Amino acid sequence: MILLLLLVTTIPTLLYVVMLWWLDKYEKESWWLFLSAFAYGCLPAVILSIILELLIEMPFAGIGGDTEPLGMVLVAPFVEELIKGLAVLLIFLIFRREFDGVLDGIIYGAVIGFGFAMVENALYFVDTAMDLGVIVLRTVPFGWNHAVFTALTGAGLGLARQSKHRWLWLLLFPLSLGIGIFFHTVHNFSVGTGECLGVILALTSDWGGIIVLLVVAILTWGQEKRLIRQELTEEVANGLLAAADLQALLYLSRRIGARLWTWRHKGWQAFRLLGRFFYLATELAFRKHHLRRGTADPSWTEEVQTLRLQIWKIRQQILAVESVR
C-alpha cells in the first residue's frame, strides 16, 4: 500500500518537474533554489494551508453549517494560492539575481505547485482508499493544476521584474495572485458539482491555462535567444568568447552535443568545466541586459567584470585539461 502510494505520487511528479526544468532552455535556475521551492510546496505550504483553512472554517462548523462547499470553492483556492504565492514573492524579493523575468516566475511558481500537488494527491489517495479513478484523474488530466495556478502568480512577478519601476510588483502581485485564485476556484467549483459537464469545464479551464503558459514560454525563448545574441556578440568581438561558443549558447541541442562530446573525448572534468563555462556566459548576457534596461542593481556593473574574469579563467582551465589528454 505504502509503496504503491509512493509510486503513484512521486513518478508523475518527477516527470512533470523534469519537463519543467527543460522548459527553461537558456538560463537554468540554481538547483538549490529550485529544490528548495519544491520542498516548500511539499511540506510548509501544505501544513500552513491546512491550519489556515481549518481556522477559517471553524466558526461555520461551530454553528452547524456544512463547511465542505465553503472550504472547497472559496477558502481552499484563496488560502492555498496565497501560501504558495507568498513563497514566489519571497524568491522575487530576496533572490533577485535568480529571478530574471516571466519564465523564471513561471518556473518557480510551477515547481512550488508540483510539490504541493504531490502531497495533496497522497492525502486524497489515502482518503479514497487508492481509488483508481481518483488516481488517474488527479495525476494525468489534472496533474498540472497547482503548478499552473501558482505559475500565473509567478508570471505576474516576472513582468514586474522586467520593469524599471521597482514598485510595480505591489500592483502585479495581487493582480496575478487573484487570477490564480480565480482559475483555482473555477476548477474546484466545476469538479465539485460532480457532473460530467463540470469536469469538462474544469479540464477546459485548466488546460487553457497550460496552453497560455506554454505560449508565453515559447515567446520567452525567442526573446532570450535575441538577448543572448545581442549581449554576447560584443564579447566575441572582444575575444572573450569564440563565435562557436555563441552559437552553442543560442541552441540547446548544440550545448548538449558539445558537452556530451567533451565528456566522451575529454573526460568528466572537462565536461563539468564546459557546463560551468556555458552557465557563466549566459549569466553575463542576462546581467548586461538588466544593466542596459535599467532593471539591475548598481553593483551589477562590478559583477559583469567579475563574470568576464571568471569566464576567461575557466576557458584557460578547459584548454589546460584538453592539452593533458
- Is residue 305's pLDDT more than 90? yes
Q: How far apart are CA 210 and CA 151, in angstroms?
A: 10
Contacts of 151 (CB under 8 A, 6+ apart): 105, 106, 107, 109, 110, 113, 180, 213
DSSP 10: H
Query: Could you tell me the three cell numbers for 263?
Result: 565528456
Give the pLDDT mean for 120-143.
Answer: 90
> First CA to last CA across the chain, in angstroms?
52
pLDDT digits (tens, 9 = 90+) for 96-126: 888 989 999 999 999 999 999 999 999 999 8
pLDDT the model gives residue 3: 83
What pLDDT score was predicted for residue 59?
Answer: 77
Q: Where are the alpha helices (DSSP H) in 43-101?
A: 44-62, 67-70, 76-94
Gap between the Cα atoms of 125 and 150, Å rounded? 22
Q: Identify the band that residue 86 occupies on the pLDDT scale cut at 50, 70 and 90.
A: very high
Neighbours of 135 (CB within 10 A): 19
Structure confidence at residue 299 as a pLDDT band (50, 70, 90) = confident
The angle, 0 to 180 degrees and rounded to 10, between the axes of the packed helices 102-127 and 31-42 is 40
pLDDT at 61: 63
Structural element, H or E, at residue 183? helix 169-192
Assess whether pLDDT exceeds 60 at residue 65: no
All three cell numbers of 232, joined, read 554576447
Q: pLDDT tens-digit profile of 150-182?
A: 999 999 999 999 998 989 999 999 999 999 999
Nearest CA-CA partner of 245 in 271, 281, 276: 281
Domain boundaries, the chain: 2-224, 238-324
Residue whose entry in the numeric block shows the C-alpha cell 487553457: 208
For the question of whether the overall pTM of this predicted structure is more than 0.75, the answer is: yes
Q: With pLDDT > 70 as the criterion, what percentage of the chain qualifies?
A: 96
pLDDT score recorded for residue 13: 96
In whole angstroms, give the CA distance from residue 42 to residue 13. Answer: 11
- The 10s digit of each residue's pLDDT in 312-322 is 999 999 888 76
Three-state SS at 5 = helix
Summarised one tens digit per residue, pLDDT across range 42-51 is: 999 999 999 9
Of 182 and 28, the structure prediction assigns the larger pLDDT to 182
